[in-house]
Structure 1
Amino acid sequence: MTSDDDLLRVFGDRLRAARKAAGLSQEALAHQAGLHRTYVSSVERGERNIALLNILTLATILDIDAGTLLAGLIRHPE
């Protein structure tokens, strides 16, 4: 079973890869999304459980489908 920490790290890695592929710094992505740079940084490090609306906003800025950030991730109830 995958831990919550692992899921957050995988999501953060995917966000970081998409941001870099888009040629954006954390600061630029955060600014365009109306978020703080430290928030984006903590999401990329897997330290934060990001809200759905922020996922959608970041995916829109990165011009990707939000599903690509979540594809294959499964969380079973405790």
Structure 2
Amino acid sequence: MEIKSKVGSRIREIREKNGISQKDLSYTADLDRSYIASVENGQRNISIVNLEKIAKALKVNLSELFQGV
């Protein structure tokens, strides 16, 4: 599994654990819902800026998005 898929799966895991929908995450992170979906599916080469937005929206440290990756 490549890094994009691993990080995307980790984002999905954290989001679902916290009961947050893709729509709510996208709103809080100021990103499009389809962008969140493509990140979670490992289809996007996500920038560090957007990783930070997602981490803040999920209320986790940026490093938590890489745990187990």
With the length of structure 1 as denominator, give the TM-score of the two structures: 0.81
2:45 maps to which residue?
Answer: 49
Q: Please report how far the alpha carbon of residue 71 of structure 1 lies from its aligned counterpart in structure 2 after TM superposition.
A: 3.8
Number of residues paired by the alignment? 69
Relative to its length, the structure with more helix (as a share) is 2
- The correspondence for 1:25, drawn from 18, 21, 28, is 21
* Amino acid paired to 1:10: K
SS of 1:24 mapped into structure 2:
coil
List alignment gaps of at least 5 residues for structure 1.
Answer: 74-78
With the length of structure 2 as denominator, give the TM-score of the two structures: 0.91
1:9 maps to which residue?
Answer: 5
CA RMSD of superposed structures (Å): 1.3
- For residues 60 and 21 of structure 1, what CA distance do their matches in structure 2 show? 16
The structure number with the bigger radius of gyration is: 1
* Amino acid paired to 1:35: L
- For residues 34 and 54 of structure 1, what CA distance do their matches in structure 2 show? 9
- For residues 6 and 14 of structure 1, what CA distance do their matches in structure 2 show? 13
Alignment of 1:36-75 (within 5 A): 36-71=32-67, 73=69
- For residues 43 and 33 of structure 1, what CA distance do their matches in structure 2 show? 13
* Amino acid paired to 2:22: Q
Amino-acid identity (%): 35
